[in-house]
């Protein structure tokens, strides 16, 4: 069962390394999954991690290296020679090997490739290095199981046994012609239940979903989610089978996308971790903080413009936070829903008018409830009736306008090729603060003066 990594356990490992007690280190890690050992390595420095990895079976070490965070792995491998890196790369699937090598200097990369024992794997890696990291080709692994359309089941099973030695996970068998053109897919259950002399032409399913190598990784995610696939073949422009992408690689992309969107929505402009340098952390956070500060200064100037209204009814200032907070919250809710829809590639621009009408109707209901509650609250507490009406009318207007703005802004940004996540968080909040203040004081101006 999975092991809970405690501080005491890590300290025990550190002490064993300090004493060069390899037997104790191995005994402590013996029953642990590679993922749990990876967690331990995150708590050790680079030299200590190398000591541990050198003790482990190379296959376990290669799995650990494949799962390490890219930045930590890059720093970690600076302590390894090209020969040591090649030992682990030899045991990785081609897509994981390319990820590791892309993080190295060109000299190290070429040295590692030249040291690989398996010439076929070396050729696969060189081929994959040409693809962009965020493309289907950059995600795919060359290891897969394919059979010829002209074979019979017996030949297929023999070939599967041979190819399976290099394929870690078998999700299915791809059927190709003599030129490696993808023709279809063969289910393992279908293959096992058939007799040895059954032709593949009678068994394979020609209706196979594939993706071109130049497509973006976001397209891969969208297709695999839509059709509930555990793997997808990658082809070139002539439909020649190049490799496959498995669900674990897609999960990595989804996690990266979610992390990027979360950081953008909270006003962080770079992909950062808590243990990054102080300068990088500050640089990633400052841009939107400065924009929010500018918005705050503009809000202060806006309040100054309406000094007459505030002087006439000083109690107006008491409700300013309510107006700005409500507008910001409504805007964030609306933009978050739209961003989620855009992330799923829903064709929302095709029914733009219908969607805006729906947003307005929802906003009207919310605005009526919120403004009605605030009006009732102020009347019950015997607040100034004029002020209660001003606040309620302003809240009603702010909820409707913020809903529309929070919906339209991400859609427009997406149409112009800008990540709609930047519209959320600080941008929407700051804009709606200014909008809310303007509406509040304009309503006061017309109703009180």
**Mind listing the pLDDT tens digit for each residue in 204-247?**
999 999 999 999 998 999 899 889 898 999 999 999 999 999 88
Question: What are the tens digits of pLDDT across the range 94-142?
Answer: 989 999 999 899 999 999 999 998 888 899 999 999 899 889 999 999 9
Looking at every residue in the chain, the average pLDDT score rounds to: 83
Range of the domain at 435: 278-448
Q: What's the number of CA atoms in the CB half-sphere (13 Å) around residue 21?
A: 12
Whether residue 403 is found in the same domain as residue 299: yes
| pLDDT of 1 higher than 60 | no
Domain count, the chain: 3
pLDDT in tens, 60-99: 999 999 888 887 888 888 889 999 999 999 989 898 999 9
66 and 130, same structural domain? yes
On whether residue 339 sits in a domain, the answer given is yes
- In terms of C-beta density within 10 A (0-12 exposed, 13-18 middle, 19 or more buried), how is residue 231 classed? buried
Q: Are residues 160 and 125 in the same domain?
A: no
Examine the domain organization and report whether 94 and 191 are in the same domain. no
Q: Looking at the domain assignment, is residue 80 inside a domain?
A: yes
**Looking at the domain assignment, is residue 296 inside a domain?**
yes
The CATH number assigned to the domain holding 416 equals: 1.10.357.20
Domain boundary among 139, 158, 189: 139
Least confident of 23-27, 55-59, 158-162: 158-162
On whether both 433 and 293 belong to a single domain, the answer is yes
Residue 91 and residue 120 in one domain: yes
Same domain, 115 and 185: no
**What's 37's domain CATH number?**
1.25.60.10
Checking if the pLDDT of 250 tops 60, the result is: yes
Same domain, 305 and 392: yes
**Which residue has better confidence, 3 or 23?**
23
Q: What number of other Cβ atoms are within 10 A of residue 273's Cβ?
A: 11
pTM exceeds 0.75: no
pLDDT greater than 80 at residue 175: yes
Check residue 276 and give its pLDDT. Answer: 62
Residue 93 in any domain: the answer is yes
Query: Final residue of a domain: which of 202, 224, 255?
Result: 255
Residue at which a domain ends, from 223, 255, 287: 255
Q: What is the CATH number of the domain that holds 236?
A: 3.10.580.10
Q: Give a yes or no: residue 155 inside a domain.
A: yes
On whether both 249 and 174 belong to a single domain, the answer is: yes
Q: Tokens 């090997």 — which residue?
A: 97
Q: pLDDT tens-digit profile of 253-292?
A: 887 777 766 666 665 656 656 566 677 667 766 776 777 7
Distances (CA, A) of 65 to 115, 288, 374: 18, 35, 58
pLDDT at 184 over 80: yes
262 domain-assigned: no
Q: How far is CA 300 from CA 155, 304, 319, 443, in A?
A: 79, 6, 15, 18
- Is 48 within a domain? yes
Let me know whether 173 and 290 are in one domain. no
Within a domain: residue 215?
yes
- Name the burial class of residue 192, with classes exposed (0-12), middle (13-18) and buried (19+) by CB atoms within 10 angstroms of its CB: exposed
Residues 293 and 369 in one domain: yes
Q: Give the per-residue pLDDT at 208.
A: 92
pLDDT for 396-415, tens place per residue?
Answer: 998 888 888 888 888 877 77
Give yes or no for a contact between 168 and 93, defined as CB atoms under 8 angstroms apart: yes
Whether residue 239 sits in one domain with residue 189: yes
pLDDT tens per residue across span 346-390: 545 556 677 778 888 888 999 899 989 988 888 887 667 888 888
Mean pLDDT of 428-436: 80
CA 109 to chain centre: 27
| pLDDT at 209 (0 to 100) | 94
């Amino acid at each position: 069962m999975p092991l809970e990594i405690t501080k005491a356990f890590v300290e025990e490992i550190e002490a064993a390394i300090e004493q060069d007690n390899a037997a104790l280190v191995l005994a402590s890690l013996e029953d642990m999954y590679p993922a749990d050992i990876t967690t331990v390595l995150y708590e050790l420095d680079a030299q200590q991690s190398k000591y541990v990895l050198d003790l482990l079976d190379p296959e376990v070490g290669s799995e650990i290296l494949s799962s390490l965070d890219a930045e930590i792995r890059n720093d970690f491998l600076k302590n390894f020679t090209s020969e040591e890196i090649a030992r682990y790369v030899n045991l990785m699937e081609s897509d994981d090997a390319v990820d590791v090598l892309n993080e190295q200097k060109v000299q190290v990369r070429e040295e590692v490739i030249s040291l690989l024992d398996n010439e076929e794997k070396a050729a696969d890696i060189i081929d994959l290095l040409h693809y962009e990291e965020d493309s289907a080709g950059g995600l795919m692994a060359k290891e897969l199981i394919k059979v010829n359309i002209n074979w019979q089941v017996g030949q297929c099973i023999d070939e599967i046994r041979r190819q399976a030695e290099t394929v870690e996970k078998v999700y299915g068998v791809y059927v190709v012609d003599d030129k490696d053109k993808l023709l279809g897919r063969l289910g393992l259950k279908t293959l096992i239940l058939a007799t040895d002399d059954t032709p593949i032409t009678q068994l394979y399913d020609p209706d196979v979903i594939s993706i071109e190598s130049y497509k973006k990784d976001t397209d891969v995610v969208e297709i695999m989610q839509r059709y509930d696939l555990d793997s997808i073949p990658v082809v070139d422009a002539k439909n020649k089978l190049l490799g496959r992408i498995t669900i674990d690689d897609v999960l990595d992309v989804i996690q990266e996308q979610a992390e990027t969107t979360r950081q953008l929505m909270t006003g962080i402009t770079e992909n950062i971790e808590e243990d990054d340098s102080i300068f990088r952390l500050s640089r990633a956070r400052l841009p939107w903080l400065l924009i929010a500060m500018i918005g705050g200064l503009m809000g202060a100037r806006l309040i100054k413009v309406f000094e007459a209204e505030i002087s006439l009814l000083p109690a107006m200032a008491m409700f300013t936070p309510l107006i700005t907070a409500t507008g910001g919250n409504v805007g964030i809710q609306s933009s978050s829903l739209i961003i989620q829809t855009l992330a799923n590639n829903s064709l929302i621009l095709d029914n733009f008018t219908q969607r805006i009408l729906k947003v307005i109707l929802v906003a009207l209901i919310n605005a009526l409830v919120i403004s009605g509650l605030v009006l009732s609250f102020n009347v019950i507490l015997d607040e100034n009736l004029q002020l209660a009406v001003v606040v309620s009318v302003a809240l009603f207007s702010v909820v409707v306008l913020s809903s529309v703005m929070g919906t339209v802004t991400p859609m427009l940004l997406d149409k112009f090729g800008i990540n709609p996540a930047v519209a959320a968080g600080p941008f929407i909040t700051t804009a709606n603060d200014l909008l809310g203040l303007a509406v509040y004081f304009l309503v006061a101006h017309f109703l009180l003066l």
